Chains A and B, each alone.
Chain A
Amino acid sequence: MSAAVTQLAPVPLRVAAVVRETADSVTLTLARPDGSAVGPGAPGQFNMLYPFGIGEAAISLSSDSAETLVHTVRGVGAVSEALGRLRPGDWVGVRGPFGAGWPLEAARGRDIVLVAGGIGLAPLRSVIHAVLRDRAAFGRLFVAYGARTPRERLYVAELEDWQARSDIDIAVTVDAGDAHWSGRVGFVTALLANAPIDPARCIVMACGPEVMMRAAARQMLGRGVPIENVYVSLERNMKCAAGLCGHCQVGPLFMCKDGPVFPFGRVQDLLGVREI
């Protein structure tokens, strides 16, 4: 890649639609006009979103559309909560897209296992959309999704659509059910033991809490998936997204420019070290 002077200034894009997903999460669709300085990006990449005057947060693409940028945001602090208050017609600043995305090329012709925990489903939804758009190019698609409670599930209507389809196999579990929940309760990793895929020709992509990703990776390695076919997406505090601010380093890796998606083998040892 050739060196480009970093874009410091956010580009204003208009909010085209807002969907409330859960009590603390929304999905924003931003219009991306032709010739926009912000590229469409690829599944697994992220943008730095700037609610005017508040600050910036790294938010993954949660769909693979070329005309719009779709982002699902969970409100956990000043910036993400301000993003959650945006209305259609509002403006939001965008820098990006940044980072290395999911290995969609390598996944062609193979079975795909997606393991998502919590907000981790957002970056993986962009993979689901890309696979469904070009369904014949891929093998079986198995999605394991774990949410804390039924109310915290993202994309509820879409989950139902996926469950109704025969070309995608999706299993949802929650840590704690409620009176209306008749689905599975337990860890997302428990869904992987019998995932109907061929370990020898499958690609695993996981996004969620680090403990979950490590457990999922171990489980799939145990089933015989070669380590080079297991990918995880990591999160660290980041300010610039361009490898300049130093915040997101884990050992020798910059999460922003070397990741956020990594082959598991490249980060396995590092993730095993406490407080790295």
Chain B
Amino acid sequence: MTSNDPPASPTAEAGHILPAAHFDALLTLLHEDGFDVRGPRVQGGALEIGKLPNAAALPQGCSATQEPGAWRLQHTGTPAWFGITHGGMSWKALLHPARTRLWSAERTADGFSVHEDAGPAKPFAFIGVRACDLRAIAVQDNVLQRGPYVDAVYNARRNGAFLVTVDCAEPSGTCFCVSMGSGPAAGSGYDLALTELDAGSASHRFLVRTGSRAGEAVVQRLGLCEATHQDSASAKAIVEGASARMGRSMDATAARATLSANRESPHWQDVAQRCLSCGNCTMVCPTCFCTTVEDTSDLSGDIAERWRLWDSCFTFGFTHVAGGTVRESAGARYRHWISHKLLNLHEQFDESGCVGCGRCITWCPVGIDITAEVAALPQDVS
């Protein structure tokens, strides 16, 4: 994948400027290059990720409040185009689809023949990826592409994707990316990173940083002017302001020790009293990757298919073996989920499985808060 290689030479230190009035030029260029361009869109009172024909389709004038168990859209008339951090849907819905057919097969004289479904016809371009979600894509890259086995479906959708991030100016009430080292400014892995400046004024513009050759080429073709040091100072102030207004926090290093020391804590019983085992947290979590398969056949029994669906470690059947289900209690399932996020993924892939996006807190119907649950465990005394 050469297009997303890091830049050959450092670009203008301060970056470039994309005037808001020219935002559509970026989208047009990506469309013309054959990308399936997706971005945040308000649909049915929620924020979804949809086809993005032009900048007017962005959730302009909207904000959202997020609290444990609550996400509310507000038409505040904010001049910002990227005023809503994120909704329940994350980019994993496109890269690692919730439901996909892996193959279909039909009986033949030599047993059966299998047809694997091709990947999407066009590569994706994502507009408005948040810093936390950029890290989440990197987590799924590690799980699904690092090996020894590579996921064919994810591979086909992920390779060649063009990622445009937008730094957060106003974190939500459940965000804690600062604690997880993932935001509010985009780290590595983007093609273009934007910071929205002076929304609502005549100089509404985006500071553009490039993170790949493909990103550099786009900046060149758009003929963007170099940014001033004043522009980058403004962007820095926005990010610092957002960092200071995080909705939540967690001591991620202590969490690892706390979780390894508390496998048998009575606290898991306490969580089990509240947790509904609904699995919402796993559906909205941008790093959760678990799937199950369903095999089907037609009435004649000559044609069969295998479908893959997102699964949740909160279901009773997730760990079932002939002897029964291994994680029978809701407490054991919550312990598995939170331990995998904050402890086990470090051991497996040298990084946190939680990027601090706060979705699991917002979308939990009973408002269970991952930061509060870690804090409630007895600290490691060793």
From B19-27, B47-55, B188-196, B291-299, the one touching the partner chain is B291-299
Interface SS of chain A: loop
Contacts of A252 in B (CB 8 A): 343-344, 347-348
Q: Cα distance A17–B344 when bound, in Å? A: 43
Q: Is B340 an interface residue (CB 8 A)?
A: yes
Beyond A3-B147, A237-B318, A245-B311, is A91–B326 a contact (Cβ under 8 Å)? no
Contacts of B332 in A (CB 8 A): 274-276
Q: Cα distance A56–B336 when bound, in Å? A: 25
From B61-69, B74-82, B138-146, B172-180, the one touching the partner chain is B138-146
Per-residue 0/1 for A232-268: is the Cβ within 8 Å of any B Cβ (1 yes, 0 no)?
Answer: 0001110110111111010110100100000000000
Q: Which B313-342 residues have C-beta < 8 A from chain A?
A: 313, 318-323, 326-329, 332, 336, 339-340
B contact residues, total (Cβ < 8 Å): 53
Contacts of B348 in A (CB 8 A): 252, 254
Question: Shortest CB–CB separation between residue A37 and chain B, in angstroms?
Answer: 11
Q: Cα distance A148–B348 when bound, in Å? A: 38
- A239 B151 Cβ-Cβ under 8 A: no
From B152, B291, B297, A5 is in contact (CB under 8 Å) with B152
Compute the total of residue contacts between A and B using a CB distance below 8 Å: 137
- A53 B152 Cβ-Cβ under 8 A: no
Chain B residue with Cβ nearest A55:
B295
Q: Is B32 an interface residue (CB 8 A)?
A: no
Q: Is B373 an interface residue (CB 8 A)?
A: no
Contacts of A56 in B (CB 8 A): 293, 295
- A244 B321 Cβ-Cβ under 8 A: no
Q: Is B13 an interface residue (CB 8 A)?
A: no
From B110-118, B197-205, B213-221, B236-244, the one touching the partner chain is B110-118
Beyond A8-B116, A12-B112, A237-B318, is A245–B292 a contact (Cβ under 8 Å)? yes
From B84-92, B100-108, B358-366, the one touching the partner chain is B100-108
Question: Shortest CB–CB separation between residue B139 and chain A, in angstroms?
Answer: 13
From B148, B313, B347, A4 is in contact (CB under 8 Å) with B148
Question: Shortest CB–CB separation between residue A213 and chain B, in angstroms?
Answer: 13
Beyond A12-B112, A235-B321, is A244–B144 a contact (Cβ under 8 Å)? yes
Interface hub of B116, B151, B297, B328 (most chain A Cβ within 10 A): B151
Q: Is A14 an interface residue (CB 8 A)?
A: yes
Beyond A237-B318, A273-B264, A275-B332, is A53–B148 a contact (Cβ under 8 Å)? no
Question: Shortest CB–CB separation between residue A237 and chain B, in angstroms?
Answer: 5
Contacts of A74 in B (CB 8 A): 322
Contacts of A276 in B (CB 8 A): 263, 326-327, 332, 336
Contacts of B304 in A (CB 8 A): 52-53
Q: Is A209 an interface residue (CB 8 A)?
A: yes
- B321 A275 Cβ-Cβ under 8 A: no
- B148 A3 Cβ-Cβ under 8 A: yes
Chain A residue with Cβ nearest B301:
A53
Q: Is A54 an interface residue (CB 8 A)?
A: yes
Question: Shortest CB–CB separation between residue A71 and chain B, in angstroms?
Answer: 16
Q: Is B249 an interface residue (CB 8 A)?
A: no
Q: Is A1 an interface residue (CB 8 A)?
A: yes
- A236 B114 Cβ-Cβ under 8 A: no
A contact residues, total (Cβ < 8 Å): 44
- B339 A5 Cβ-Cβ under 8 A: no
- B295 A246 Cβ-Cβ under 8 A: no
Question: Shortest CB–CB separation between residue A132 and chain B, in angstroms?
Answer: 29
Beyond A53-B297, A275-B329, is A6–B291 a contact (Cβ under 8 Å)? no
Q: Cα distance A10–B327 when bound, in Å? A: 30
Chain B residue with Cβ nearest A54:
B295
Q: Cα distance A209–B320 when bound, in Å? A: 14
Q: Which B264-278 residues have C-beta < 8 A from chain A?
A: 264
Q: Cα distance A257–B144 when bound, in Å? A: 13
Per-residue 0/1 for A22-55: is the Cβ within 8 Å of any B Cβ (1 yes, 0 no)?
Answer: 0000000000000000000000000000101111
Contacts of A8 in B (CB 8 A): 102-103, 116, 152, 306
Beyond A9-B114, A54-B295, A274-B332, is A247–B318 a contact (Cβ under 8 Å)? yes
- A6 B149 Cβ-Cβ under 8 A: yes
Contacts of A274 in B (CB 8 A): 264, 332
Q: Is A93 an interface residue (CB 8 A)?
A: yes
Chain A residue with Cβ nearest B104:
A9
Q: Is A2 an interface residue (CB 8 A)?
A: yes
5 further A-B pairs in the complex, CB-CB below 8 A; given A236-B321, A249-B340: A1-B147, A9-B105, A54-B295, A93-B105, A246-B291
Chain B residues near A (Cβ < 8 Å)? 102-103, 105, 107, 110-112, 114, 116, 143-152, 155, 263-264, 289-293, 295-297, 301, 304, 306, 311, 313, 318-323, 326-329, 332, 336, 339-340, 343-344, 347-348
Chain A residues near B (Cβ < 8 Å)? 1-6, 8-10, 12-14, 50, 52-56, 74, 76-77, 91, 93, 209, 235-237, 239-240, 242-247, 249, 251-252, 254, 257, 273-276
Contact sample, A vs B, 29 pairs, CB 8 Å cutoff = A3-B150, A4-B148, A5-B155, A8-B103, A8-B116, A8-B306, A9-B114, A10-B105, A10-B114, A50-B295, A52-B107, A55-B293, A55-B295, A56-B295, A91-B111, A235-B321, A240-B291, A242-B149, A243-B143, A243-B149, A246-B290, A246-B311, A249-B344, A251-B339, A273-B263, A275-B327, A275-B328, A276-B263, A276-B327
Name the 8 nearest CB pairs between A and B, nearest first: A12-B111, A3-B147, A53-B297, A246-B290, A91-B111, A275-B332, A242-B149, A252-B347
